[in-house]
Amino acid sequence: MHDDRRLIEDRLGRVLTERIVPAIYPESVPLRASIWVAPDEPVPVAEGLAAPRTPIASGARWGAPWGTSWLTVEGAVPAEWAGSTVEAIIDLGFDRNMTGFQCEGLVYRADGAPVKGLHPRNQWVRVASPAIGGEQVLLHVEAASNPIIPFFPPTALGAESTAGNEPQYRLGRLDLAIFDDEVWQLVQDLEVLGELMHEMPEEPARRYDIVRAIERALDAVDLQNVNATAAAARACLVDVLAKPAAPSAHTISAVGHAHIDTAWLWPLRETVRKVARTTSNMTALLADEPEFVYAMSQAAQYDFIKRHRPEVYERVKQAVSAGRFVPTGGMWVESDTNMPGSEAMARQFVHGKRFFLAEFGVENEEAWLPDTFGFAAGLPQIIKASGSKWLLTQKISWSQRNKFPHHTFLWEGIDGTRIFTHFPPVDTYNCSMHGREIAHAARNFKDKGRASISLAPTGWGDGGGGTTREMIAKAARMADLEGSPKVLWDSPSGFFTKAEAEYENPPVWVGELYLELHRGTLTSQAKTKQGNRRSEHLLREAELWAATAAVRKRLEYPYAALDRIWKTVLLNQFHDILPGSSIAWVHREAEQTYAAVAEELTAIVERAQWVLGGEGVGPNVFNPTPHTWRSVPAGAAAAVASGGPCSVGERASGGFVLDNGLVRVEVDARGLVVSVFDLAHRRETLPPGSAANLLQLHPDLPNAWDAWDVDLFYRNRVTELTEAEFVVAEMDSQNSAVVRVGRSFGSSTVEQALTLRAGAHGLDIDTTVDWHETEKFLKLAFPLDIHADRYASETQFGHVFRPTHTNTSWEYAKFEACNHRFVHFAEPGWGVALVNDSTYGHDVTRTVRADGATTTTLRFSLLRAPRFPDPDTDHGTHHFRHALIPGASIGDAVCAGYRINLTTSRPGVAEPVEPLFIIDNEAVVTSAVKLADDGSGDVVLRVYEAHGGRASALVTPGFDTAGFQFCDLLERPLQADPSAVPEGTGVRLRLRPFQLVTLRFATESTAPGRKPEPTGLG
pLDDT at 1017 over 60: no
Residue 766 in contact with residue 880, Cβ under 8 Å? yes
> How many angstroms separate the most distant Cα atoms in the chain?
102
Bridge partner residues of 351 (DSSP) = none
Q: Where are the alpha helices (DSSP H) in 636-692?
A: none
Q: What's the pLDDT at 1008?
A: 38
Chain mean pLDDT for the chain: 96
873 Ramachandran zone, left/alpha/beta (phi>0; psi -120 to 50): beta
Determine the Cα–Cα distance for residues 693 and 699; give it in Å rounded to an integer.
20
Average pLDDT of span 114-121? 96
Cα dihedral across residues 729, 732, 735, 741: positive or negative:
negative
Distance of CA 117 to the CA centre of its chain: 25
User: Read out DSSP for 399-416?
Assistant: -SS---S-SEEEEE-TTS
pLDDT at 37 over 60: yes
Q: What's the pLDDT at 616?
A: 76
Q: What's the pLDDT at 1?
A: 56
**Within 13 A of 848's CA, how many CA atoms are on the CB side?**
3
Q: What is the pLDDT of residues 283-330, one digit of tens each?
A: 999 999 999 999 999 999 999 999 999 999 999 999 999 999 999 999
775 Ramachandran zone, left/alpha/beta (phi>0; psi -120 to 50): left
Cα dihedral across residues 385, 386, 388, 391: positive or negative:
negative
Q: Where are the alpha helices (DSSP H) in 32-116?
A: 45-50
Residue 791 in contact with residue 843, Cβ under 8 Å? no
Distance of CA 217 to the CA centre of its chain: 48
Average pLDDT of span 594-622? 93
Give the pLDDT band (50/70/90) at residue 203. Answer: confident
Give the pLDDT band (50/70/90) at residue 495. Answer: very high
Give the pLDDT band (50/70/90) at residue 906. Answer: low
pLDDT at 1009 over 50: no
Closest CA to 289 of 318, 325, 258: 325
Determine the Cα–Cα distance for residues 353 and 375; give it in Å rounded to an integer.
20
- Please measure the distance between the N-terminal and C-terminal CA atoms of the chain and give it in whole angstroms: 89
Residue 707 in contact with residue 521, Cβ under 8 Å? yes
Q: What is the pLDDT of residues 128-173, one digit of tens each?
A: 999 999 999 999 999 999 999 998 889 999 999 999 999 999 999 9
Q: What is the pLDDT of residues 691-705, one digit of tens each?
A: 999 999 999 999 999
Residue 326 in contact with residue 253, Cβ under 8 Å? no
Residue 294 in contact with residue 282, Cβ under 8 Å? yes
CB atoms within 10 A of CB 50: 12
φ, ψ of residue 494 in degrees (nearest 5)? -60, -45
* Strand 486-489 versus strand 251-256 pairing type: parallel
Closest CA to 69 of 109, 33, 31: 33
Bridge partner residues of 90 (DSSP) = 174
Q: What's the pLDDT at 202?
A: 86
pLDDT at 454 over 60: yes
Give the pLDDT band (50/70/90) at residue 1012. Answer: very low
Residues annotated as part of the active site: 371
Closest CA to 572 of 334, 353, 393: 334
Q: What is the pLDDT of residues 682-738, one digit of tens each?
A: 999 999 999 999 999 999 999 999 999 999 999 999 999 999 999 999 999 889 999
Q: What's the pLDDT at 904?
A: 65
Non-local CB neighbours of 205 within 8 Å, separated by 6+ positions: none
Three-state DSSP class for residue 828: coil
Closest CA to 103 of 114, 89, 113, 117: 117
Q: What's the pLDDT at 931?
A: 98
Residue 572 in contact with residue 565, Cβ under 8 Å? no
Total residues found in the chain within this entry: 1018
Determine the Cα–Cα distance for residues 538 and 994; give it in Å rounded to an integer.
24
Average pLDDT of span 976-993? 92
Query: What percentage of the chain exceeds 90 in pLDDT?
Result: 94
Q: What is the pLDDT of residues 813-871, one digit of tens each?
A: 999 999 999 999 999 999 999 999 999 999 999 999 999 999 999 999 999 999 999 99
Give the pLDDT band (50/70/90) at residue 950. Answer: very high
Q: What's the pLDDT at 1013?
A: 39
Burial of 305-343, coded b for 16+ CB within 10 Å and e otherwise, reads: bbebbeebbebbbebbeeebbbbbbbbbbbbbbbbbbbb
Average pLDDT of span 650-654? 96
Average pLDDT of span 441-450? 97
Identity of residue 253: S
Identity of residue 504: E
